[in-house]
Chain A
Amino acid sequence: MSSQFVQAVEWTFLGYFAAINLAYLAQCLLAVRSVRRYLKSTSIDELDPAYSTVHLPISLVVPAYNESRSIVTSIKALLQLEYPDFEVVVVNDGSTDDTLEKLITGFQLSPYPEAYRKQVPCRPVRATYRSARYRNLRVVDKENGGCKADAANAGINICRNPLVAIVDADGILQRNSLTRAVRPFLENPDTVAAGGAIRIANGCTLREGFLEEVDLPRNPLALMQVIEYLRSFLFGRMGWEPLGAVLIVSGAFGVFRRTTLIEVGGFNPQAVGEDMELIVRIHRIMKQQRRRYHIGFIPDPVCWTDAPESLKDLGSQRTRWHHGLGQALQLNRWLMLNPRGGTVSWLAIPFYVLFELLGPLIEAVGFVFFLGGATFGLIVWSEASVFLLLALSLGMLMSICAIMLEEFSFPMYRKPRQLALLYAAALLENFGYRQLTVWWRLKGFFRWLTGRRHKWETITRSASVGAR
């Protein structure tokens, strides 16, 4: 009886492993196809310098809360972006440090009466400022809304251009990030939102807010995250893009059509993962209204972000992300297997529920079952080891797929040492790091079940981002 039960459980886990990895493999193949197509189209871009004159005016909204240390450098870098028509709207979300004072002195701001329309909900604005030095810079000082979503909404109300990019105050953009990010809007007029690949800035060298030299972080936690980001952006999102089922545009950098943001009610201040919730909501509303739309994704590294280097910060981030995932799916559950939802309802949402949301739960049960079973003599150790080895080898295969995609598309880590380090990380992340992320995600899962609320999160900035 017990051996039959054990075998049934073994088959269940094997089936789950096979399903999840086949899904990832399919994503990887789709991503290879998308990247190839994208690389061909970029070679078209190079043909005519005049192509770069095609542009849509864009407003960069930068929500900031207690960013006193880096805000002036970050905004100066944003103001130097290569794009013909853009404005920067910084939203100070009632910071308790001297973020606003730094902005006022750094950019010679003076208050002026902005008669804006409140089209999406946000906490009251205390004052608006404009810069005497930069005509395209405005700063909004508002009451603290407790979350990034509220600050972003204030920015959406005030900005004036048809495209809005939400940018993290500590995000490092490439000089041509905007030109790249608006491409989906130029190529497909149905595009309502678009994102690009986010990379880890830890270990890189910066000069005046721009990336000067790319390197891998020395901190092992940050190094593991490099692999995770490659997996997530290169084959996670690029795989969904051709199916019209991108469910996440990263909060670090995403471009939206302003009219769409207003139509769907802006960011949800109650959402823990406001970036994912917004995209899933856009899918839902567009499907409900039977409208044509497209959410684009480009594999170019458009934004570099500071990854947490301590277990506490990383744990808190991963717990929040998983909590946000559950909430986004729950709030938009209309999409689940809805006949009107197309690939989003029949592929993406079931995938996210089964493999992303429930993944840590199943993985944790698997670990406990095999390790516990072996300890208590239900399973022989050699059999448990086979399953653990399988989990390890499949995890490594997916990471190596991501490294291959990176090499194939936009290789940033060009030194042999860096490639070796990436391979080492792909192997070593399976020993400890992966189990930790399962634990944090599990915590997020239970937080979602119990419905706890979330506030602005401050991550300790890494010391390994070398600034000059």
Chain B
Amino acid sequence: MQDFPFALASSAPISVALWLTVVSIAASLLLLLYTLELRVRRRFRERRRANVVAYWRTIIAGAVTGAAASGAAPKLRRRERQEFLRLWVYTRSMLEGAAAERLIALAQSLGLTEFVRGQARHTHVGTRLMAMQALGYLRDRESLAELAAAIDDTNTLVSISAAEALAAIDPPRAVALLIPKIAQRRDWPRTHVFKVLQRAGSDVISEPLYRCIRAASDEDAAYLLQFAEIAEFDVRDALAGELLRSSTNPELLVAALKTATGHAPIPRLDELLAHQVWYVRMQAAKLVGRMGRKDDLGRLEKLLGDDEWWVRFRAAKALVRLHGVSVSDLEEVRSRLHDRYARDMLGQAMAEAGIR
């Protein structure tokens, strides 16, 4: 112990405590310096970014409005490319038509396409995603094969972003590749799948989606049906009609009821309104509310006394929405209800609709 550098350390625990104190104070000082360095670096980065953005924003705005100065095209420096790409993608995401074309022309004149192709193979996911999005916006046909391969990437965001880019460049090809994979890739965010399908257009997706759903298992068909919302009306009604006639699977029945537009007659409607599974009854009630008329009043009135709260709730909402049903009709229904729960529910629905 005499060799110990601290005179205070008279016992082992004290010397350990002293060493720990010294180490923690040193670590605190180092962390303090590191925090300061972080701050300085952040300031510097923010300032540089602001300068780059300010410079290129003017040029991009000129390209968008078509007021770009003639003469020598500005040169995009290597260290500015990432910031410019971010700004370009952001602006491009809000534009279509001639302004978008001018923006694409600007990017091409600055050699952005080549840069972005390289970035699309980057190991950092964020960088890769940004590049794929840019390739879509640039409508770069040379990247088609690479994007098609990236659809099978195990990373959810990479694969769905590749699909989105592909849909922007070549919609039929994107749809042909994407639709057979939707049921297997449940990791794809549904809104992104919707976006890709929407971008391709209902005329392009209707037929392949119809074929895929008809060939799928009940579970997959129920999942895929949600995307039929984008399909053409007659395809939606055909799918709904066929599945409602042939299926007994409650999940599929619910999905089919959601798909129906209400423009075509619904097969087995009374059977579905009395189905043993409550969420099928609920969905059927919702559909009646969407497409029904005054003649359907009795059907919904029965459901107001359902054991399940959600069925009563949806039936009441549907009743209030029915075409041709007046306030006095609803009051009459309410007055003849003996079930307190049913009466309360209809009362609430009427109050919410502002008719009570």
Interface of A toward B, CB cutoff 8 Å: 7, 10-11, 14, 17-18, 21, 40, 43-44, 46-50, 53-54, 112-115, 117, 130, 186, 380, 382-383, 386-387, 389-390, 393-394, 396-397, 400-401, 403-404, 407-408, 411, 419, 423
Q: How large is the interface on B (under 10, 10 to 19, 20 to 34, 35 or more residues)?
A: 35 or more
Question: Quick one: which of A11, A115, A186, A400 contacts B341, CB cutoff 8 A?
Answer: A115
| Contact yes or no, B24 A393, CB < 8 A | yes
Interface with A: B5-13, B100-108, B232-240, B321-329, which one? Answer: B5-13
* 11 A-B pairs in the complex with CB atoms less than 8 angstroms apart: A40-B124, A40-B125, A44-B125, A47-B133, A48-B164, A50-B93, A112-B351, A386-B18, A386-B21, A404-B34, A407-B35
Name the B residues within 8 Å of A17 (CB-CB).
17, 20
A112 to B356 Cα, complex, angstroms: 9
Question: Quick one: which of B28, B35, B126 contacts A43, CB cutoff 8 A?
Answer: B126
Q: With A48-B93, A383-B10 in contact, do A411 and B17 touch (Cβ < 8 Å)?
A: no
A144 to B8 Cα, complex, angstroms: 61
Name the A residues within 8 Å of B76 (CB-CB).
none
A401 to B27 Cα, complex, angstroms: 9
Q: With A44-B126, A112-B351, A386-B8 in contact, do A397 and B13 touch (Cβ < 8 Å)?
A: no
Name the A residues within 8 Å of B344 (CB-CB).
113, 115
A234 to B213 Cα, complex, angstroms: 47
- Consensus secondary structure, chain B interface: helix
Name the A residues within 8 Å of B21 (CB-CB).
386, 389-390, 393
Question: Quick one: which of B35, B36, B129, B351 contacts A44, CB cutoff 8 A?
Answer: B129
A117 to B24 Cα, complex, angstroms: 56
| Contact yes or no, A380 B348, CB < 8 A | no
| Contact yes or no, B89 A47, CB < 8 A | yes
Q: With A54-B191, A411-B42 in contact, do A10 and B11 touch (Cβ < 8 Å)?
A: yes
A383 to B42 Cα, complex, angstroms: 43
| Contact yes or no, A404 B31, CB < 8 A | yes
| In the complex, residue of chain A having the shortest beta-carbon distance to the beta carbon of B186 | A189
| Contact yes or no, A397 B24, CB < 8 A | yes
| Contact yes or no, A390 B35, CB < 8 A | no
Tell me if B189 counts as interface (CB < 8 A to partner A): yes
Name the A residues within 8 Å of B14 (CB-CB).
10, 383, 386
| Contact yes or no, B13 A10, CB < 8 A | yes
Name the B residues within 8 Å of A54 (CB-CB).
189, 191-192
Name the B residues within 8 Å of A44 (CB-CB).
125-126, 129, 157
| Contact yes or no, A48 B34, CB < 8 A | no
| Contact yes or no, A387 B348, CB < 8 A | no
Question: Quick one: which of A10, A18, A383, A419 contacts B20, CB cutoff 8 A?
Answer: A18
Question: Quick one: which of A21, A47, A380, A407 contacts B38, CB cutoff 8 A?
Answer: A407
Name the B residues within 8 Å of A400 (CB-CB).
28, 31-32, 35
**Residue from B28, B124, B125, B341 whose CB has the most chain A CB atoms within 10 Å:** B28
| Contact yes or no, A53 B191, CB < 8 A | yes
Nearest CB in chain B: distance from A51 CB, A: 8
Name the A residues within 8 Å of B130 (CB-CB).
47
Question: Quick one: which of B20, B32, B191, B348 contacts A390, CB cutoff 8 A?
Answer: B20
Tell me if B214 counts as interface (CB < 8 A to partner A): no
- The proximity string for B residues 11-52 relative to A, scoring 1 for CB distances below 8 Å and 0 otherwise, is 111101110110011011001101110110010000000000
Name the A residues within 8 Å of B195 (CB-CB).
50
| Contact yes or no, A419 B39, CB < 8 A | yes
Q: With A18-B20, A113-B344, A387-B17 in contact, do A47 and B352 touch (Cβ < 8 Å)?
A: no
Question: Quick one: which of B13, B34, B161, B351 contacts A113, CB cutoff 8 A?
Answer: B351
Name the A residues within 8 Å of B8 (CB-CB).
382-383, 386
Question: Quick one: which of A14, A115, A408 contacts B347, CB cutoff 8 A?
Answer: A115
